[in-house]
Structure 1
């Protein structure tokens, strides 16, 4: 009798230890608060995932047993009371062989022919140190080995959900069960997040209904860009990059822009032996990352530790339709810092990738001014602790913008249509305030003035692209023939973006902040206008003056008389020489 009671107490501890796959402190039988009652009705299990509602689960029984639990005075089960297993037997089928084979090399494993009670006690005492209903089993523990063996066998018949609710199981035989993910779902949208598989859920069926949430998290990823106006990756200092990532910035041609990729890992990473993890970053075709040879220059950090580049691969594949930067870990659980020290990666770890990219000046066009250059990242991650399966997140974007100017040069006179005459061939230089460099038409800069001359075309226009937000001075250096240089002291203007939206909305510079200023009459009144990504205005040059002339007719007569005398003299000289030659011949 005393031996049976002792075994019952161990079984009660086993019940608590194995419930939900975690470990709880062993309990003793305490009957004072309720009436211990053997469950006779079939059991129910509900696995609820409110986000991935399409994910299905499956279950399999490991041990059959009588299940005892306290009942309240009204006959309902006391859900807070522990369940006790007795008369433990192996479930029908091949479960015993699979479990005992999986555990045969574990220190202290019973003989394969030992009874089910003995095996249950062994599992209870060797399931690992990670415990609690909300935790995930550690890889390599007895519970993990059991789940891996059962999931990997294709001959087992698993119990499927009872109805359209993907995790609802009814009419289950009482005993000890394992539940795992059957088929993961995705969130809505063409590129929805792929669900991760739950760590093994071990629970006792019988008595009170079992309600449990999957033990996993789907990794999340985001992308931020550092705005050079405030130098931050977040829009709110009180939040982090996942809750307030800065999605938008602007830049000049060839100006490095800092990007940050950030990703979390699944909360049950401790169940994985190997955890693959890959950032795939699709840059717009107009951008190129900073390169060292053909490889992108990146810095990878986990928390405050810089990861040794030997622990990951960083590649870049340029192209028009795909322009891809990839940072990939074969096994994130084995990363080290630059000093060779292991970096702890757990369910609360965040992985950061920092790199720089710039707008390629040769690819900037008028059509893209003020329009978002979309830069997308997605994350691919291991999503099944016991296979090589992977899941993928949705794309997360960031945006970069650039701007330009259109300037028209006209004279103070009119053409044959009555409009101000446009002036071709007028030369200018453009500089940003505070800079000693000159800006070319493609937005790149140089200290060589001659290399940065901007010349009006046959429509009297200059176009400059690839400008950042800022204040600039446009200076006329060579006017059109017959016209004065009215802008020799420069025209100052500002490209002001206002507030950059975080959704990729096109940007029109703020006209009220343009402040197009010059000497009186240099900028045509009311000519300053804005359009998507562009500021336009007109500069006027006055036509050269004609001063009065006198004595023009007298001067003309003198030139005519002088010419006539010269002609007579030449004719006389020729005739004289001819007569002299004739006399000599006679």
Structure 2
């Protein structure tokens, strides 16, 4: 077959099509040894978890003895069309017809037309799109040239195809195979056209290709940690995991970063699709949207309580976005914030920030499973399309909220279950004193009161946050003494990424551990039994039978002391009289 030295020599000529856009990726060329046309390994980095990567050799190639000017040993290549099936597809993608040309002449024209294209040109983008559409499903006729395939094993992972023959390849990144749970299925395939050659284009026999995802927006979600007990840990404010009381109003923040190529779009749209677990109820009307210019992004830290009133953040008028909330009782809730046209209003690196609130409700899951919630973006994917093209979709970003439970088991002095008691649980708030049991935002806030009931011996206080609490027996079983109040602090330990709880402790008023999921912490008297998975701490509250005896220093003690003194005096008088009688 006739061959020709192609002008497609580009020192590692690599074109990446991400979501319908091709970007040039010019790699450094280094000659490791003499060119031998040996096969090389192709390594793809920055691969997506679950995405499928495939490669087709669309042109054969061999190295020549001529070097590419301005490179460190890269040699020019001679190209040829592999077979008739590939010739037909190449011609279709290039809008060429063979007519009366012989195969050799027509192959030469195909190669010549490709060599005249430049990196990132519209012509080359069009060719890559058309070629992919023609080749992606026709595996039977192209089985001999479909040299590589594989699936990435983890987010931003690396996959390697070994012993790829010298040639001109079309590579695809297909994210439609990503699991729904990873929420990236909306990506369009990424296409790469490149020269894969032996030693003169590779480093130690390996040709590395980094999938360029810079022109895809990213999204992050954060949950605000706050507590009405000021001694609880709330730094940083916005994080990946937090804990709250049932009934608390929780603040969430969504942050999208505008891609580098936004200026190329005729229309650019973006939607936040946020999912709240059934334990969270969206506060209708709470959504606020802001824009933070790239130059001010450094001010957007996780310790900024809200963007409202910040001079470096611009409030987006609510006429520029729509909010759709779908609430399903007993199921997850979906919140969609759609910005239909950001064209001209945002620049590369800007952030679009959404803030809203939701309440932790009675459906909240107690314990280490927590209450996860997530967000992903859909966005304009095609700069050439007047409507922004088919929406792309980012991977999900998740946060999780935890809540806990304390159980009080009522027993008598012998450890037997005892009915007839009632309890009230209070939580310490700002500037609380031991005697202040107000229900305002200061003092001890009443969390829950459980009245006495027939045969009730176990009392559960569900949906508790980190903080200091006081358990008070407000109804005492008949014939028994009132149990002492129990002061305790719930102390969860978060993992470094805040996405899970690694330990749950109960401490007393002296900050000593009196119950822990870590047995090595239980060095003091163990008052509570703690289960991390269930998120529960349980304790026995003991009532002893009999009348209430006075405490040391009380009036009863004074009376006892007085009676004792009278007895002592009486005894002294008796002895004196007796002695006198004896003497007589």
> Secondary structure of 1:509's partner?
strand
Residue of structure 2 equivalent to 1:402: 404
Residue of structure 1 equivalent to 2:287: 297
The answer on whether the counterparts of 1:372 and 1:401 sit within 8 Å (CA) in structure 2 is no
The answer on whether the counterparts of 1:197 and 1:383 sit within 8 Å (CA) in structure 2 is no
Report the Cα distance in structure 1 between the residues aligned to 2:133 and 2:272, rounded to whole angstroms. Answer: 29
Instruction: Kindly report which structure 2 residues correspond to 1:131-210, keeping only aligned pairs within 5 A, or say none.
Output: 137=120, 141-152=122-133, 161=145, 163-164=147-148, 179-181=170-172, 183-184=174-175, 191=182, 199-203=190-194, 208-209=200-201
The answer on whether the counterparts of 1:288 and 1:359 sit within 8 Å (CA) in structure 2 is yes
Instruction: Kindly report which structure 2 residues correspond to 1:530-545, keeping only aligned pairs within 5 A, or say none.
Output: 530-532=529-531, 533-538=536-541, 540=543, 543=547
Instruction: Kindly report which structure 2 residues correspond to 1:445-524, keeping only aligned pairs within 5 A, or say none.
Output: 454-458=450-454, 459=456, 462-474=459-471, 491=485, 493-501=487-495, 502=498, 504-505=500-501, 508-511=504-507
Larger radius of gyration: 1
String of CA shifts for 1:190-245, please: whole Å, max 9, x gaps. Answer: 758669566543445778457351543387765443333443458xxxxxxxxxx9
The answer on whether the counterparts of 1:55 and 1:181 sit within 8 Å (CA) in structure 2 is yes
Matched, 1:335 2:377: no
More relative contact order in 1 or in 2 (CA 8 Å, sep 6+)?
Answer: 2
Report the Cα distance in structure 2 between the residues aligned to 1:383 and 1:171, rounded to whole angstroms. Answer: 37
Residue of structure 2 equivalent to 1:286: 279
Q: RMSD of aligned C-alpha atoms?
A: 5.9
- Using the size of structure 2 for normalisation, the TM-score is 0.55
Report the Cα distance in structure 2 between the residues aligned to 1:23 and 1:216, rounded to whole angstroms. Answer: 10
Matched, 1:225 2:216: no
Q: CA deviation at 1:181?
A: 0.9
Report the Cα distance in structure 2 between the residues aligned to 1:473 and 1:451, rounded to whole angstroms. Answer: 10
Q: What is the aligned residue count? A: 444
- Using the size of structure 1 for normalisation, the TM-score is 0.55
Report the Cα distance in structure 2 between the residues aligned to 1:82 and 1:311, rounded to whole angstroms. Answer: 55
CA 1:320–1:281: 2 relative to 1, 3 Å: same
> Secondary structure of 2:225's partner?
coil
Report the Cα distance in structure 2 between the residues aligned to 1:539 and 1:321, rounded to whole angstroms. Answer: 38
Residue of structure 1 equivalent to 2:359: 358
**Correspondence for 1:377 among 374, 379, 384:** 374
The answer on whether the counterparts of 2:279 and 2:371 sit within 8 Å (CA) in structure 1 is no
Residue of structure 1 equivalent to 2:328: 319
The answer on whether the counterparts of 1:282 and 1:322 sit within 8 Å (CA) in structure 2 is no
Residue of structure 1 equivalent to 2:246: 253
> Secondary structure of 2:44's partner?
coil
5+ residue gaps, structure 1: 1-7, 26-32, 102-114, 128-136, 235-244, 517-524, 548-586
Q: CA deviation at 1:405?
A: 4.6
The answer on whether the counterparts of 1:162 and 1:170 sit within 8 Å (CA) in structure 2 is no
The answer on whether the counterparts of 2:482 and 2:543 sit within 8 Å (CA) in structure 1 is no
Q: CA deviation at 1:283?
A: 2.8
Instruction: Kindly report which structure 2 residues correspond to 1:377-456, keeping only aligned pairs within 5 A, or say none.
Output: 377=374, 379=376, 388=390, 393=395, 396-406=398-408, 408=410, 422=418, 424=420, 426=422, 428=424, 430-434=426-430, 454-456=450-452
Report the Cα distance in structure 2 between the residues aligned to 1:325 and 1:277, rounded to whole angstroms. Answer: 16
String of CA shifts for 1:377-414, please: whole Å, max 9, x gaps. Answer: 2536579869848566367452322333526386xxx8
> Secondary structure of 1:499's partner?
strand
